[in-house]
Amino acid sequence: MIYTSSISRKRIRVFTMIFQDGAKLFCVGSVKARCKTHKEKIVFTMLFISTLVLLMTSLMWTPAEATYTTEGFAIFVDGELLIPTLTADDAKEVLKGVKDWYIRENSSVVRMDYAEDVQIRECKITVQDVKSVEDSIAFIVRRKAPLIT
């Protein structure tokens, strides 16, 4: 590329560029306005500012506590999750423990049913919510409304 002439007219420069293949190109404007490195500085500055803004907003938010979910089983009462367990056997032990809690020594049980619809279903559970069998029995027994009639 060869610059052949530069004519200044009222602070606007007109450049004629002749390329090696003979094509001519007329450019209007200052060299600074057409300079790629000048535009790259502006892009870099805007990128830097937007990065700082994103960093500051992310620092203002508090991170959520990490929770892990897994496949497990749960005891549902009237369609609502009551006790999550890791296995179906644990859920059955909890229900058996609740029934045993209501049975008195030296008594015979004629019929024992749940007052509500109680189901054991497979579902996704949060590992932090899983309690031991004993804690689960104690939680159910200490509720205000009894499950067994």
How high is the pLDDT of residue 71?
A: 93
- Report which of 102, 66, 88 is spatially closest to residue 133, judged by C-alpha positions: 88
Q: Which two structure tokens, joined as six digits, stand for 141?
A: 């027994």
18: helix, strand or coil: strand
pLDDT tens digits, residue range 83-133? 999 999 999 999 999 988 888 888 888 888 888 899 999 999 988 889 999
Rounded mean pLDDT of 34-61? 74
Predicted confidence at residue 85, as pLDDT, reads 94
Q: What is the DSSP annotation of 23-62?
A: -EEEEES-HHHH-HHHHHHHHHHHHHHHHHHHHHHHHHSP
Spatial separation of the C-alpha atoms in residues 46 and 70, rounded to whole Å: 44
Taking the C-alpha atoms of residue 91 and residue 125, their distance in angstroms, rounded to an integer, is 13
User: What is the chain's Cα-based Rg?
Assistant: 38
Share of the chain above pLDDT 90, in %: 30
Three state DSSP letters for 56-107: HHHHHCCCCCCCCEEEEEEEEECCEEEEEECCHHHHHHHHHHHHHHHCCCCC
Q: What are 80's strand-pairing partners?
A: 77
Place 44 in a pLDDT band, splitting at 50, 70 and 90.
Answer: confident
The average confidence (pLDDT) of the chain is 76
Q: For 7-34, what is the mean pLDDT?
A: 53
The string of pLDDT tens digits covering residues 62-76 is 656 557 788 999 999
Mean pLDDT of 4-21: 51
